């Protein structure tokens, strides 16, 4: 029996009269009771705006808000709270960096590298910035097994004027774990700034920004057992200091006249407007939850599930796994001969099994593998071997019905 399961009330329900089998944690994780309670507690007793009032509720909300920042700092081992910016999520963080760093400091003739396996949120913001600033985006290709083509990456570094690299740590579609330590090191040797999309990695492995020496790193709390609408953007202080604000408004200012504004110190310089206060405060419970776990135990548990599912999938005739890199997180994308992923997803749903189908916001990657959509099952700590059996049975049933 997996004790972690008991902490997630969502799993106690039935969907279509079946016990819920939730295999879509790469989209968003379920929330432990402690996080749900923290949201409710804030709205029930603690509602107030932060960084504004001197009354009890406001200063208490501010205290808790800043406590979450400290938890986030410690979680990624940033040097100072000034390097920890609250955002709406990974997408918001990447847009901040694209607007405030790339659009400002990259220029015509400069190259930004991204890979074929990026989520659209690590492609489109750079395109928008490139349209303004005139720099060029080049692609690090993906090999047939779904790993990054490191040889071409090195060649690109040698031959192009690479000023920035933005790369996903763990692919949401393939599960590939990229060698980001090496990418950061090689990027820095070339003088490039390196940004990491850690949306899919933070819940599965220790991410230490000082050890990695990355310049920027973004993730979303909702993929880390926390609330939606909260993210963390880490940036090295020296970079954040020289970057202009991304958005203007309350909280990010020191002094405003009609003619001009002086900006607040870090981190507030990048936090215009009333933030997601309940979400940020409840995120402390998510960081506490992560703190109560052991990454090695998570790794071993999830690896076992991944190996088991991969093994059972290999016995299903007509099933092709897309993404077979040696280093993989607990995500499996697959296609089933003569069955459209959406039809499979619907039939599984009728059996109470939640998977994701579609392009997973990675259309260039779909094109690379010659598909328009895949089915994707993703596993985390609250899944168990019985979930995999249910999925395998469900796929076999769907096959009988549809092919």
In our burial notation (b when 16+ CB lie closer than 10 A, e otherwise), range 213-247 reads ebbbbbbbbbbbbbbebbbbbbbbeebbeebebbe
Q: CB of 197 within 8 A of CB of 177? A: no
Q: Please identify which of the residues 10, 214, 218, 361 carries the catalytic annotation.
A: 361
Instruction: Determine the size of the site formed for ligand 7TS (CB under 6 A).
Output: 16
* Interface with ligand 7TS (CB under 6 A), residue from 73, 82, 328, 360: 360
Identity of the residue, 26 or 347, whose beta carbon is nearer to ligand 7TS in the bound complex:
26
Backbone angles phi, psi at 81, to 5 degrees: -65, -20
- Which residues ranging from 121 to 160 are in contact with ligand 7TS (CB under 6 A)? 121-122
Identity of the residue, 99 or 264, whose beta carbon is nearer to ligand 7TS in the bound complex:
99
User: Is residue 55 classed as helix, strand or coil in its secondary structure?
Assistant: coil
Burial class (CB in 10 A: 0-12, 13-18, 19+), 97: buried
Between CA 296 and CA 285 the distance in angstroms is: 21
Please identify which residue in the block is written with the tokens 């960096």. Answer: 97
Backbone angles phi, psi at 237, to 5 degrees: -55, -40
Q: Is residue 330 a contact point for ligand 7TS (CB under 6 A)?
A: no
* Interface with ligand 7TS (CB under 6 A), residue from 26, 61, 76, 129: 26
- Position with the least CB separation from ligand 7TS: 172
Identity of the residue, 130 or 168, whose beta carbon is nearer to ligand 7TS in the bound complex:
168
Backbone angles phi, psi at 58, to 5 degrees: -70, -45
Instruction: Output the smallest distance, CB 56 to ligand 7TS, in A.
Output: 33
Identity of the residue, 127 or 386, whose beta carbon is nearer to ligand 7TS in the bound complex:
127
For residue 103 the two structure tokens come to 């659009």
Identity of the residue, 68 or 264, whose beta carbon is nearer to ligand 7TS in the bound complex:
68
Closest to 275 in 3D by CA, of 115, 65, 63, 67 = 65
Please identify which residue in the block is written with the tokens 């993703």. Answer: 378
Q: Is 361 a catalytic residue?
A: yes
Identity of the residue, 231 or 394, whose beta carbon is nearer to ligand 7TS in the bound complex:
231
Instruction: Output the smallest distance, CB 197 to ligand 7TS, in A.
Output: 5
* Interface with ligand 7TS (CB under 6 A), residue from 95, 115, 220, 383: 220
Q: Is residue 116 a contact point for ligand 7TS (CB under 6 A)?
A: no
* Interface with ligand 7TS (CB under 6 A), residue from 64, 200, 357, 380: 200
Q: Is residue 172 a contact point for ligand 7TS (CB under 6 A)?
A: yes
Q: Is residue 283 a contact point for ligand 7TS (CB under 6 A)?
A: no
Identity of the residue, 272 or 361, whose beta carbon is nearer to ligand 7TS in the bound complex:
361
Q: Is residue 197 a contact point for ligand 7TS (CB under 6 A)?
A: yes
Instruction: Output the smallest distance, CB 126 to ligand 7TS, in A.
Output: 13
Q: CB of 306 within 8 A of CB of 112? A: no
Stretch that binds ligand 7TS, among 47-55, 59-67, 73-81, 197-205 (CB under 6 A): 197-205
Q: Is residue 276 a contact point for ligand 7TS (CB under 6 A)?
A: no
Between CA 150 and CA 58 the distance in angstroms is: 50
Sheet hosting strand 374-378, strand order edge to edge = 319-322, 331-336, 374-378, 356-358
* Interface with ligand 7TS (CB under 6 A), residue from 27, 143, 205, 293: 27
Burial class (CB in 10 A: 0-12, 13-18, 19+), 121: buried
- Which residues ranging from 60 to 99 are in contact with ligand 7TS (CB under 6 A)? 89-91
Instruction: Find the helix or strand (DSSP H, E) in which 335 lies.
Output: strand 331-336
Identity of the residue, 360 or 368, whose beta carbon is nearer to ligand 7TS in the bound complex:
360
Q: CB of 339 within 8 A of CB of 403? A: yes
From residue 176, give the alpha-carbon distance in Å to each of 117, 144, 325, 378. Answer: 9, 12, 6, 13
Active-site residue set: 361
Write out the residues near ligand 7TS by the rule CB under 6 A.
26-27, 89-91, 119, 121-122, 168, 172, 197, 199-200, 220, 356, 360
């Amino acid at each position: 029996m997996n004790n972690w399961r008991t902490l997630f009330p969502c799993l106690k329900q039935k969907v279509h009269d079946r016990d819920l089998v939730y295999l879509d944690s790469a989209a968003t994780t379920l929330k432990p009771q402690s996080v749900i309670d923290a949201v409710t507690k804030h709205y029930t007793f603690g509602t107030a705006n932060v960084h504004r009032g001197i009354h009890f509720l406001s200063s208490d909300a501010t205290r808790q808000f800043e406590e979450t920042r400290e938890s986030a700092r410690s979680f990624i081992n940033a040097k100072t709270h000034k390097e920890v910016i609250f955002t709406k999520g990974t997408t918001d963080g990447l847009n901040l960096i694209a607007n405030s760093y790339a659009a400002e400091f990259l220029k015509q003739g400069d190259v930004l590298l991204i890979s074929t396996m990026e989520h659209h949120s690590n492609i489109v913001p750079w395109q928008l910035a490139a349209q303004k600033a005139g720099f060029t985006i080049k692609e690090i290709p993906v090999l047939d097994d779904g790993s990054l083509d490191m040889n071409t990456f090195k060649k690109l570094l040698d031959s192009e004027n690479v000023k920035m690299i933005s790369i996903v740590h763990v692919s949401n579609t393939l599960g590939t774990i990229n060698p980001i330590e090496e990418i950061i090191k090689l990027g820095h040797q070339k003088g490039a700034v390196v940004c990491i999309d850690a949306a899919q990695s933070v819940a599965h492995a220790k991410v230490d920004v000082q050890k990695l020496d990355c310049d920027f790193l973004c993730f979303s709390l909702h993929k880390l057992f926390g609330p939606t609408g909260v993210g963390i953007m880490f940036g090295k202080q020296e970079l954040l200091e020289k970057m202009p604000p991304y958005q203007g408004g309350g909280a990010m200012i020191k002094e405003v006249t009609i003619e001009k504004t002086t900006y607040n110190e870090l981190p507030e310089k990048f936090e215009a407007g009333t933030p997601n206060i309940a979400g940020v405060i409840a995120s402390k419970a998510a960081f506490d939850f992560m703190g109560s776990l052991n990454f090695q135990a998570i790794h071993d548990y999830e690896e076992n599930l991944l190996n088991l599912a991969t093994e059972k999938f290999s016995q299903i005739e007509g099933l092709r796994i897309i993404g077979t890199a040696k280093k993989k997180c607990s995500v499996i994308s697959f296609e089933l001969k003569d069955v459209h992923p959406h039809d499979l997803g619907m039939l599984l749903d009728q059996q109470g099994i939640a998977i994701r189908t579609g392009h997973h916001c990675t259309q260039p990657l779909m094109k690379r593998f010659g598909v328009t959509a895949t089915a994707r099952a993703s596993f985390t700590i609250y899944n168990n071997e019985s979930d995999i059996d249910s999925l395998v049975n469900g796929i076999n049933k769907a096959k009988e019905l549809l092919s």
